[in-house]
């Protein structure tokens, strides 16, 4: 499939985004798509963003968290700001879309829509600057390294949330039509912890298994046993996953392995379930090791927490979507999403909401994110920019109207 190089105007998704603003977003998105950059390498992307922000009269700050960019839009009043966030990095995937602006970087592709998120946020800045100043300052956050789940924590460490009261962001989604926004209270992305299990057996000759302790056999039993955690220990109404992705053992067909190593991921929407999965994995591993006389060592690499939209923030995001797009364009998420998103790290510090922008592309509906053939409809750019601008204004009105401080709101 090859996309039409001339996209439908923004008016095709019922927004009031001017066609010239939409055209500039498309141009930026396609330039970023053609020249994608991996996590922590987004130097040209950051330069392009800074150039666009400077064109709008802003004073971008570059080099934040390595390759991030931030800029502040002044508000009518000083005080706590509203933040809008976009991620910028691509993936180590060779593109197979056939798009006229396909990646020209071998083995690297914007296979998750971050090029679109970046262009949306630049568009939102242009919309905010075109009218009256927003009620309170708006901070634009262009984040590196979301795909490694390390960009957001580092930006927090470098103070991008200082003086910020709320944060909003979103992601293109092929499950919803262009022009739609899906907004849901509660968990919308899962936690993303990794585990490693090392099994220490006793090697030997394949012809004399009774003289050895086969780490492969123990590992196979462990893989099977781990599947009972979700099916038998977790409430079926609580989405969770335990997946073993790697199994490394053995050196020759006639040698019984003395060591095996398993690697995998555990995911959950609820923090208590997340901890329960970890405990169960350790317990079952220990029991199987004792049963077979093998030493088993379990270690974890903690990833992002779940993204949890509070009811209050989801309602604010929904009100902005109704105002910007109309009630008929606002949806609830129809499916559980077990993918991770380091936007959660921002939400550990301040309230906010993460939404989905409809981007279903005709003929590419079956290609998921992180696929070499992933595509989305560029009309989502208008939807995302319009919603971001509106939620920044409405959140600012709420903040200034209630006289809340960032600290007070975060504690409420």
Residue after which a domain boundary falls, among 280, 301, 322: 301
pLDDT category, 7, cuts 50, 70, 90?
A: low
313 Cβ neighbours under 8 A, 6+ residues apart: 166, 351, 352, 353
1 within some domain: no
Do residues 168 and 217 both lie within one domain?
no
214 within some domain: yes
Query: Annotated catalytic sites, by residue?
Result: 89, 146
Residue 8, pLDDT score: 56
pTM of the model: 0.91
Query: What is the average pLDDT across 114-126?
Result: 98
Query: What is the average pLDDT across 136-156?
Result: 97
274 within some domain: yes
Residue 359, pLDDT score: 97
Do residues 217 and 130 both lie within one domain?
no
Do residues 312 and 371 both lie within one domain?
yes
What CATH number does the domain containing 205 carry?
3.30.70.360
List the beta strands (DSSP E) in 128-205.
138-143, 164-173, 181-182, 186-189, 193-200, 204-205
pLDDT of 410 higher than 50: no
Do residues 180 and 157 both lie within one domain?
yes
Sort strands 352-358 and 164-173 into parallel, antiparallel or unpaired. Answer: parallel
2 within some domain: no
173 within some domain: yes
Do residues 67 and 200 both lie within one domain?
no
Q: What is the DSSP letter of 109?
A: B
Do residues 276 and 319 both lie within one domain?
no
18 within some domain: yes
Residue after which a domain boundary falls, among 285, 301, 317: 301
Do residues 180 and 209 both lie within one domain?
no
Domain that holds residue 230: 193-301
Do residues 314 and 295 both lie within one domain?
no
Do residues 101 and 15 both lie within one domain?
yes
Buried b / exposed e across 299-317, counting CB within 10 Å, b at 16+? eeeebbbbbbbeeebbebb
Do residues 182 and 321 both lie within one domain?
yes
- Alpha-carbon distance of 356 to 406, in angstroms, equals 25
Other CB atoms within 10 Å distance of the CB of residue 194:
14
- Alpha-carbon distance of 282 to 276, in angstroms, equals 10
Contact 79, 162 (CB under 8 A): no
Do residues 185 and 46 both lie within one domain?
yes
Residue after which a domain boundary falls, among 301, 335, 353: 301
pLDDT in tens, 37-83: 999 999 999 999 999 999 999 999 999 999 999 999 999 999 899 99
When divided into structural domains, the chain yields a total of 2
Do residues 244 and 310 both lie within one domain?
no
């Amino acid at each position: 499939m090859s996309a039409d190089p001339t996209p439908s105007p923004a008016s095709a998704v019922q927004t009031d985004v001017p066609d010239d603003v939409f055209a500039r977003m498309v141009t930026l998105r396609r330039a970023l798509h053609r020249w994608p950059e991996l996590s922590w390498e987004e130097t040209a992307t950051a330069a392009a963003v800074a150039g666009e922000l400077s064109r709008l009269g802003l004073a971008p700050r570059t080099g934040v968290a390595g390759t991030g960019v931030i800029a502040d839009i002044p508000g009518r009043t000083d005080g706590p700001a509203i933040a809008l966030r976009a991620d910028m990095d691509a993936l180590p995937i060779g593109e197979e879309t056939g798009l006229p602006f396909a990646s020209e970087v071998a083995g690297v592709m914007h296979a998750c829509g971050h090029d679109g998120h970046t262009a949306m946020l630049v568009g939102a800045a242009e919309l905010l600057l075109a009218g009256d100043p927003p009620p309170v300052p708006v901070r634009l956050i262009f984040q590196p390294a979301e795909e490694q789940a390390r960009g957001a924590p580092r930006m927090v460490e470098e103070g991008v949330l200082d003086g910020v009261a709320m944060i909003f962001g979103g992601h293109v989604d092929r499950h919803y039509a262009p022009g739609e926004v899906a907004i849901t209270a509660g968990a919308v992305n899962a936690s993303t912890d990794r585990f490693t299990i090392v099994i220490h057996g006793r090697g030997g000759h394949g012809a004399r298994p009774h003289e050895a302790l086969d780490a492969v056999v123990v590992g196979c039993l462990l893989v099977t046993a781990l599947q009972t955690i979700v099916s038998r220990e977790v409430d079926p109404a609580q989405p969770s996953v335990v997946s073993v992705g790697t199994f490394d053992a053995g050196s020759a067909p006639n040698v019984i392995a003395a060591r095996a190593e398993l690697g995998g991921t555990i995911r959950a929407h609820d923090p208590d379930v997340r901890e329960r999965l970890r405990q169960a994995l350790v317990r079952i591993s220990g029991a199987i090791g004792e049963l077979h006389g093998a030493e088993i060592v379990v270690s974890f690499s903690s990833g992002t927490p779940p993204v949890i939209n509070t009811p209050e923030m989801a309602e604010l995001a929904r009100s902005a979507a109704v105002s910007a797009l109309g009630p008929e364009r606002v949806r609830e998420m129809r499916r559980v999403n077990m993918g991770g998103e380091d936007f959660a790290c921002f939400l550990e510090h301040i309230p906010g909401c993460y939404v989905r922008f409809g981007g279903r592309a005709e003929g590419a509906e079956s290609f998921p994110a992180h696929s070499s053939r992933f595509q989305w409809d560029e009309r989502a750019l208008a939807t995302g920019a319009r919603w971001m601008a509106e939620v920044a204004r409405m959140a600012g009105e709420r903040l200034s109207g209630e006289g809340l401080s960032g600290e007070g709101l975060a504690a409420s």
